[in-house]
Amino acid sequence: MDKMPKWADVILTPLISLVLAMAISALVILAIGESPVMAMKTMVEGALGSSYGWGFTLYYATNFIFTGLAVMVAYHASLFNIGGEGQAAMGGLGVALVLLYLPLPHWAIALPVAMIGAAAFGAAWAFIPAYLQAKRGSHIVITTIMFNFIAAAALNYVLVNKLRPVGSMDPASARFPESTHLPALTDIFAGLGMEWGKNTPVNVTFLIAVLACLLVWLLIWRTKLGYEIRVLGKSEPGAVYAGISPVKITVIAMLISGGLAGLMAINNVMGESERLVLNAVEGAGFIGIAVALMGRNHPFGILLAALLFGFLYQGGGELALWTSIPRELIVVIQALVILFTGALDNMVRMPLERLFLSMRRTNGGAK
C-alpha cells in the first residue's frame, strides 16, 4: 500500500518544494535589501502581463521542454543524462550544417531536414557516453559532463576556424538563407488578422515541442520500447530476466535523450538567432534537469515546469532591466528547485507521508 495518495505525490510534493525554493529566494531578495513582493510583481508583469512577455516566456519554455524531455527519457532508464547542454550545442551544429550547405527552398522542407540534423547530432553526441556506460560501465554522469566540455571546445574550434565567414571577427556562422527562416507565432497570428507578440522569438517550434511531449508520453507508456526502458530503469536483473538487453536499451534510451536535447536547436538556432553563435544553449541543457525533476518525469509535468521556468527566465530578464536585482536570481531559484525536488526530496516527502499516515489512522481506515 502506498503511504500517500497519488495526487499528493504528484502535485503536493513538487508544489511544496517550489514554495520552499521561492521562500528562500524571497529571503535572499530581502537580504540584499529589495522587496520580494515588488520583484514578483515585476516578474509577473514582465513575463505574463503582455503578449510580448508571453512571446518570450513561450520561447524559453520551448527550449526547456526539449531538454526536460531529454533528461526524462534517460531518467526512466535510470540514467542521469547531465549532458543535455553539450547535446543541444551539437544539435545546433547539425542544424547549421544542414541549413548552410543543403539547398532548401522553403521552410516547410527545411524544418524536417533540420530536425533530422539536430536530432542526429545530439544523439551522436550522446552515443559515446551511452556506449561506454553500457559496455564498459563508465559512469554516465561523469562522461556526459566531460562531453559537455568537449562539445564546447569543439564548437569553439568549428566556429572560429571553419564556419566563420571571411572577414568576420565574430565567432559565429554566416546567416542561414532567407528561405529557411521559420515563421514566428506572431506571423501566424497576423495571418489570422490578430496582433499578438510582436518582435518575439517564439515560433512554430513551440507547437513541435508540445507535440513532442505527447509523443514521448506515448513512447514511454504505450510502446514496447518504452516498457523496456522502464523495466531497465526499475531493475537491471529484472530486465535481463525478461529477455531485455540492457546494453541495447541503454544505448537507445540515450540516443532518444540526446536527440531530444539536440532538437532544441530548431528553436534557438534555426528559429531565433538564424545563425550558429557561440554558447547558443545558454544553460538550457542544465535547466532541463530542474524541469524534469519538477515535472516528476512526466511529459505533462515537464510542460508545466518548462512554462514555469520560461516565466522565471523572462521574468528574471525583466527584473535585471527594471530593478537592481541581477538576472542571476533565477539561477538561485533554479538551484533551489533542483535541491528541493531532487536532492532533498525526502525532506519534503517524509513529513508528508507521516501526515497522511496519521490522517488515515484517525479517520478509522483499516490499516
Partner 1 sequence: MKLKDSLIALIVLAICLIWAFVDGNAASQGIGSAMRLMTPLLLACLAGLYSERAGVFDIGLEGKMLMAAFSAASVAYLTGSAWLGLLAGIGGSLALSLVHGLASITFRGNQLIAGVAINFLASGLTVLVGQNAFGLGGRTPALTGAGRFQPINLPFAETLRDVPVIGPIYSGLISGNTILVYVALLMVPVTWWVLFRTRFGLRLRAVGENPASVDTAGVSVTRLRYAAVAICGILCGIAGAYLATGLSAGFVKEMTAGRGFIALAALIFAKWRPWQALFATFLFGLLEAIANLYPNLDLGIITIPSMFMNALPYILTVIILAGFVGRAVPPRAGGEPYVKER
Which positions touch partner 1 (CB under 8 A)? 28, 32-33, 80, 82, 128, 132, 136-139, 141-143, 145-147, 149-150, 152-154, 156-157, 160-161, 286, 289, 293, 324-326, 328-336, 338-339, 342-347, 350
From first CA to last CA, the distance across the chain in angstroms is 9
CA distances from 95 to 254, 264, 282 (A): 20, 10, 17
Q: On the CB side of 354, how many CA atoms lie within 13 Å of its CA?
A: 5
Joined grid coordinates for residue 60: 524559453
Q: Which residue has the cell 505574463?
A: 48
For partner 1, give the closer residue by CB, 212 or 325.
Answer: 325
For partner 1, give the closer residue by CB, 134 or 213.
Answer: 134
For partner 1, give the closer residue by CB, 28 or 244.
Answer: 28
CB count, 10 Å around CB of 247?
Answer: 12
The CB-of-272 to partner 1 minimum distance in angstroms stands at 23
For partner 1, give the closer residue by CB, 228 or 318.
Answer: 318
For partner 1, give the closer residue by CB, 149 or 241.
Answer: 149
The CB-of-347 to partner 1 minimum distance in angstroms stands at 5
In the chain, which ranges are continuous DSSP H helix? Answer: 6-7, 13-31, 36-48, 51-76, 84-101, 107-131, 140-157, 185-191, 205-222, 224-234, 236-241, 246-265, 284-294, 299-322, 329-338, 345-362
The CB-of-341 to partner 1 minimum distance in angstroms stands at 9
Give the span between the Cα atoms of 74 and 285, in whole angstroms. Answer: 14
For partner 1, give the closer residue by CB, 108 or 142.
Answer: 142
Joined grid coordinates for residue 44: 509577473
The CB-of-353 to partner 1 minimum distance in angstroms stands at 13
The CB-of-345 to partner 1 minimum distance in angstroms stands at 6
Joined grid coordinates for residue 267: 528553436
Task: Judge contact between 203 and 271, C-beta under 8 A.
Answer: yes
Give me the amino acid identity at 99. Answer: L
CA angle 15, 21, 22 (to 5 degrees): 90
The CB-of-343 to partner 1 minimum distance in angstroms stands at 4
Joined grid coordinates for residue 23: 521562500
The CB-of-23 to partner 1 minimum distance in angstroms stands at 15
Joined grid coordinates for residue 305: 515546469
For partner 1, give the closer residue by CB, 55 or 288.
Answer: 288
**Looking at the chain, how many residues does it have?**
367
The CB-of-362 to partner 1 minimum distance in angstroms stands at 25
Give the span between the Cα atoms of 87 and 120, in whole angstroms. Answer: 10
The CB-of-294 to partner 1 minimum distance in angstroms stands at 12
For partner 1, give the closer residue by CB, 57 or 341.
Answer: 341
For partner 1, give the closer residue by CB, 25 or 203.
Answer: 25
The CB-of-17 to partner 1 minimum distance in angstroms stands at 12
Give the span between the Cα atoms of 274 and 288, in whole angstroms. Answer: 23
Rounded to the nearest 5°, which phi and psi values hold at 172? -150, 160
For partner 1, give the closer residue by CB, 347 or 359.
Answer: 347
CB count, 10 Å around CB of 186?
Answer: 21
